[in-house]
Chain A
Amino acid sequence: MKLSKDSFKNFISQHPAWFMVLPALLLLLALNIFPLIWSLGLSFYKFTLIIKEPLRYVGGQNYIELLTSPEAWDRFIKTGAYIFISLLLQFALGFTLALLLAEEFKGRRLLTTILMIPLMIAPVASALFFRYLLDYNFGPINAILDRLFGIRIYWLGADPSPLFGLPYALISVILVESWIWTPFVMYIILAGMGAIPTDLWEQAEVDGLSFWYKLRYLILPYIKPMIALILMFRLMDSLKTFDTVYVLTAGGPGTTTELISVYIYKLAFIEWDFGSATALSYLVIVLVIFMTNVFMRYLILKRG
């Protein structure tokens, strides 16, 4: 077969779509799909960068070691507790704010816009500054607590807090993450409430329905799919939490705030054990894919 310049041109004009997609696809292939496949391969090897040790195929050993290691389970449980409490907090705060912002009043637009700021500035910047706010000696939060109640708290320490005995450092991580993400919950709930027909709202107002009645029979049915959406996004993103922990506590004191992403980081770039680190990454990826599927199915059912 002879490939002339003309037949090439012909091919392009007959399949313009593929040529428009191709450059993007190539980049994704090179720096996303290929690395992920390669790291799946790596997870079946013993591989380290520090000593010139040859790759050694070990089969599923990395996975077996992780799944039987109390250390890895401890990180999973910590991450679970962290996600559970931060989602509760974000829901409670975000929902309250959304209800308060539901009706029109002067300055509402400005307030909702300002609330976008925590979501948009770098988590590293927020976390670093919370280190100052939570500082034992100079931090304003302890200064306020001291003036009001005469107490100071080691916010970034390992002492158990009244909340299920979780260490204060983990509580601080939860606080910072919730500070960043509460507006996200609020915005989606607001968007859901925006879909409630105005005449229904007005009817409820005219009928003088109680707040709880409105919540149960008017608001909740409309925001149910939104809640699933929020849960999906927040679960995924919480599982990825890294920046704030790295800056706020670096996983410490000890391993009290070593969430799963931080643990993977330590396995890979402190212990240089790339095999275990990629294996653990894949366990997390499988978990993410599973959860996405569950939520997607629910959302599609709701819409279809």
Chain B
Amino acid sequence: MVESLLLYKLKKYLRVAVLVFLILAYLSPLYWIFTTAFKTRAEMFSNPFYLTQVTLENFEEAARYGAFDAIKNSVIITVGGVGLALLLSVFAAYAFSRYAIRGKNILMFYILSTRMMPPIALVIPIFVMFQKLGLKGTYTGLILMYATVSLPFSIWMIKSFIDDIPKDIDQAAILDGHSLTYVLFKIVIPMVLPGIVASMVFSAITIWNEFVFALLLSSIDTRPTSVLLSSIRGERGFNWGRIAAIEVVYILPIIIFVFLVQKHLLRGLTFGTVRR
């Protein structure tokens, strides 16, 4: 008995040890991004494994390279896209959740299917359209595009949160003589606020990371960070310290978000089909 208990414990520790090793190996690229960003040029090539001397010169160089303009563009586009999508999707989600809308199933299926559509298929006609309308290379164009792309997801996600609230609550308020706007803004929205925040964060991350639309619809002045990163070629090959520095500024906010809203992210990734 004692022996088997010992064996059991040993097995358990072994399992955790294997797991920790796997995960550390798995996450080592992140370790490299963060150490490389603070490495001196000399150490980059002489010592690929550790960081002995911390420097900020990579960040200074990244700033000279226009990294902060790109970050600024990313912020403008993300905030604009998320804001517009949120405004439209709260109303739509409430309507889909509470009313018998004709063709609702078809609409919901369409909304889901946009998740499946390859962005490259959509960007070709949009490219021509934006060129004709003068929207190519503008913040407005990018914001409209990103709002459209995140709409289906936001509607779907916020709807799934509103579905969790019993209908009786808003019906009771309407019977009490409150207007629909009152019910929506004073009762429903406060109750689904965590869901709204989760879907906002999720849309924000998607827009922040997006590449295909950004590559083809932005200009040199409006290009976000993903496009800047993809266009980096140094005069003599790659300046990895500078790239790592830009990447740190680019991915750090995302990593913080992951820790803040982690329990909703899976629901987002699977379009609400899996909840934890």
* In contact, B27 and A117 (Cβ under 8 angstroms): yes
Also in contact, A143 and B124, with CB within 8 A (given A240-B119, A269-B216): no
Interface check B203, CB cutoff 8 A:
no
- Give the chain A neighbours of B175 by CB distance below 8 A: none
Interface check A220, CB cutoff 8 A:
no
* In contact, B118 and A42 (Cβ under 8 angstroms): no
* In contact, A284 and B95 (Cβ under 8 angstroms): no
Interface check A151, CB cutoff 8 A:
no
Also in contact, A114 and B266, with CB within 8 A (given A17-B99, A39-B124): no
Within 8 A of B (CB), among A20-66: 20-21, 23-25, 27-28, 30-32, 35-36, 38-39, 42, 49
* In contact, A101 and B19 (Cβ under 8 angstroms): yes
Interface check B128, CB cutoff 8 A:
yes
- Give the chain B neighbours of A88 by CB distance below 8 A: none
* Min distance, Cβ B163 to any Cβ of chain A, angstroms: 15
* Min distance, Cβ B78 to any Cβ of chain A, angstroms: 12
Query: Contact partner of A125 among B23, B27, B250, CB < 8 A?
Result: B250
* Segment at the A interface, from B44-52, B55-63, B190-198: B44-52
Most chain B CB inside 10 Å of its own CB: which residue of A21, A140, A179, A194: A21
Bound Cα distance from A123 to B247, whole angstroms:
11
Interface check A268, CB cutoff 8 A:
yes
Also in contact, A233 and B259, with CB within 8 A (given A27-B147, A132-B238, A138-B48): no
Bound Cα distance from A36 to B119, whole angstroms:
11
- Give the chain A neighbours of B148 by CB distance below 8 A: 27-28, 30-32
* Segment at the B interface, from A156-164, A166-174, A242-250: A242-250
* In contact, B216 and A122 (Cβ under 8 angstroms): no
- Give the chain A neighbours of B243 by CB distance below 8 A: 128-129, 132
- Give the chain B neighbours of A194 by CB distance below 8 A: 276
* In contact, B230 and A113 (Cβ under 8 angstroms): no
Also in contact, A285 and B118, with CB within 8 A (given A23-B88, A28-B148): yes
* In contact, B266 and A187 (Cβ under 8 angstroms): yes
* Min distance, Cβ A273 to any Cβ of chain B, angstroms: 11
- Give the chain A neighbours of B215 by CB distance below 8 A: 246
Query: Contact partner of B121 among A114, A124, A247, A264, CB < 8 A?
Result: A264
Query: Contact partner of B251 among A31, A125, A133, A288, CB < 8 A?
Result: A125
A63-104 CB mask vs B (1 if < 8 Å, else 0) is 000000000000000000000000000000000110011000
Within 8 A of A (CB), among B246-276: 247, 250-251, 254-255, 257-259, 262, 265-266, 269-270, 273-276
Interface check A292, CB cutoff 8 A:
yes
* Min distance, Cβ A300 to any Cβ of chain B, angstroms: 12
* In contact, B101 and A21 (Cβ under 8 angstroms): yes
Most chain A CB inside 10 Å of its own CB: which residue of B122, B145, B211, B265: B211
- Give the chain A neighbours of B257 by CB distance below 8 A: 120
- Give the chain B neighbours of A284 by CB distance below 8 A: 118, 121
* In contact, B36 and A132 (Cβ under 8 angstroms): yes
Interface check B205, CB cutoff 8 A:
yes
Bound Cα distance from A234 to B206, whole angstroms:
17
Bound Cα distance from A130 to B144, whole angstroms:
32
Query: Contact partner of A120 among B23, B96, B258, CB < 8 A?
Result: B258
Q: Which residue of chain A lies nearest to B259 when distances are taken between CB atoms in the complex? A: A113
Q: Which residue of chain A lies nearest to B22 when distances are taken between CB atoms in the complex? A: A97
Query: Contact partner of B32 among A17, A101, A140, A184, CB < 8 A?
Result: A140
Interface check A219, CB cutoff 8 A:
no
Nearest 10 Cβ contacts at the A-B interface: A281-B121, A17-B99, A122-B209, A35-B125, A20-B91, A20-B95, A39-B125, A31-B148, A24-B92, A17-B95
Q: Taking beta carbons and an 8 Å cutoff, which residues of B are in contact with A? A: 12, 15-16, 18-20, 22-23, 26-27, 29-30, 32-33, 36, 44-45, 48-49, 88-89, 91-92, 94-96, 98-99, 101, 113-122, 124-129, 144-145, 147-148, 151-152, 155, 180, 205, 208-209, 211-212, 215-216, 225-226, 229-230, 232, 238, 240, 243-244, 247, 250-251, 254-255, 257-259, 262, 265-266, 269-270, 273-276
Task: Jot down 6 A-B pairs with beta carbons below 8 A, ordered by A.
Answer: A25-B92, A38-B125, A143-B49, A264-B120, A264-B121, A268-B124
